Amino acid sequence: MPHLGPLRRRAWAALLGQLLRPPSTVCIRGCHSQVAKAVLTSEQLKSHQEKPNFIIKVPKGTRDLSPQQMVVREKILDKIISCFKRHGAKGLDTPAFELKEMLTEKYEDNFGLMYDLKDQGGELLSLRYDLTVPFARYLAMNKLKKMKRYQVGKVWRRESPAIAQGRYREFCQCDFDIAGEFDPMIPDAECLRIMCEILSGLQLGDFLIKVNDRRVVDGIFAVCGVPESKLRTICSSMDKLDKMSWEGVRHEMVSKKGLAPEVADRIGDYVQYHGGISLVEDLFKDPRLSQSQLALQGLGDLKLLFEYLRLFGIADKISLDLSLARGLDYYTGVIYEAVLLESSAQAGKETLSVGSVAAGGRYDNLVAQFDPKGHNVPCVGLSIGVERIFSLVEQKMKMSGEKVRTTETQVFVATPQKNFLHERLKIIAELWDAGIKAEMLYKNNPKLLTQLHYCEKADIPLMVIIGEQERNEGVIKLRSVASREEVTINRESLVAEIQKRLSEP
């Protein structure tokens, strides 16, 4: 017992007596209550862990990404982001969650798919549904009138996942947007050009970008007799035509949303049309559609858009498709969606159906909804479906048997002898200082065979070997792991020789 006064010694003695006393109900409820709680918690946890039906798993609609998958994913993202930067975009990041009231009214039929969070300090929050609404909020909050931005981030949607089709509840989006007042269709055409560059660069196969205009869609609904109160909900049904047949969509419109059958049939006459600039010109002459000034405005912009697409050299990749609706409510003008085409070589083989891999459109009124004074900032943008593209790339790599290297290590520092840890540490520090990616085993005396196997398994191209003879002679052995050829070089020229070899094609 430490040197204490009489009162403190008595207090220590009493406390020791309590601690050494056999457990009792009084003790557990008193001085040992915290200990008892800890014991109970541990027992409850142990009981929980021993349950036969307890399964360790990720939440439904999510997944872990292995190191091999992360390599593939990062390559995809690098290509996408480099394209965004090539077109002059600035990077932006926004919170993973927003005020619920700022999101709910922007998605109409889709707000039920948002993940709501518990009340935190008086704020009702929801995880972001996409990156577009947060961008509009950012523009309004910072009173920005022009901006070309890109953003890469996760979004969340509480829907039934379809893993085989690359659809998850948590997924990554890559967005590019142009905000500001510009001459018609120039930014829109650039967005379509960016989409073509990315899909071509990723070498996913042949693709087609379907375009339409929400004013044309609304004009078709109006001349076909859709009540104004049902425009948005019928548009949401029509947006499912990439997943359902027209008969299924028609049934939803009529049976579930109360649309008159003859009105649905008139809509059906239009959704079958697709083509290029000639279709735009034919629609100008359509006796029914030409009665809608809104539709005529949309057709005018589409005609101008196709002219710019021809100058950009991508008109053959674009098709006007009147079945395209894009159900999100904030779209106001041109809309588009990219789909991959099944080649004749793929026909009859097992392929991965992933739906659209990119989409976007014009949303001219969204920023004004966040601005207290209603100041408007026209916007147009696109979103790349990373998860669906990733699923396709994974499948192609699996079929081809392509291996993925999970590290970028260029040099491995090894020794065949004991007690050479200090020499290895000096060498690897020198390599790191020179910006060379290097590794070594975290052992004092590793076996040379173990080090060789590690290099071959990790596909590390070069190995530096230091032993007693090399140290005495002031030299280093440099080994090519693939060819197993070794050369002896001066210790001072190690970094220069490695850099020379790494720079060779």
Contacts of 6 (CB under 8 A, 6+ apart): none
Place of tokens 């690359």: 166
3-state per-residue secondary structure call for 212-264: EEHHHHHHHHHHHCCCHHHHHHHHHHHHHHHCCCHHHHHHHHHHHCCCCHHHH
Q: Is residue 107 annotated as involved in ligand binding? A: no
Cβ neighbours of 85 (radius 10 Å) = 12
In eight-state DSSP terms, residue 419 is S
Among 229, 224, 270, residue whose Cα is nearest residue 246? 270
List, as one string, the DSSP characters of 451-501.
HHHHHHHHT--EEEE--HHHHHHTEEEEEETTT--EEEEEGGGHHHHHHHH
Q: Is residue 157 annotated as involved in ligand binding? A: yes
Structure tokens at 191: 């967005």
Among 212, 99, 178, residue whose Cα is nearest residue 380? 178
Distances (CA, A) of 501 to 411, 434, 452, 453: 11, 14, 20, 22
Q: Is residue 150 annotated as involved in ligand binding? A: no
Mode of pairing for the β-strands spanning 147-156 and 125-127: unpaired
How large is the angle between the packed helices 214-224 and 231-238, nearest 10 degrees? 110
In eight-state DSSP terms, residue 342 is P
Q: Is residue 308 annotated as involved in ligand binding? A: no
List, as one string, the DSSP characters of 85-150.
HHTTPEE----SEEEHHHHHHHHGGGGGGSPB---BTTB-EEE-S-SHHHHHHHHHHTT-S-EEEE
Cα–Cα distance between 337 and 152 in angstroms, integer?
Answer: 19
Distances (CA, A) of 73 to 55, 87, 382: 28, 22, 19
Q: Is residue 29 annotated as involved in ligand binding? A: no
The enclosing H or E element of 14 equals helix 6-20
What are the backbone angles phi and psi of residue 273, rounded to the nearest 5°?
A: -80, 135
Q: Is residue 454 annotated as involved in ligand binding? A: no
The radius of gyration of the chain from alpha carbons, rounded to an integer in Å, stands at: 32
In eight-state DSSP terms, residue 3 is S
User: Which value, to the nearest 10 degrees, does the dihedral of the CA atoms of residues 248, 249, 254, 259 take?
Assistant: -170
Q: Is residue 173 annotated as involved in ligand binding? A: yes
The binding site for L-histidine comprises 130-132, 157, 173, 177, 326, 330-331
The binding site comprises 130-132, 157, 173, 177, 326, 330-331
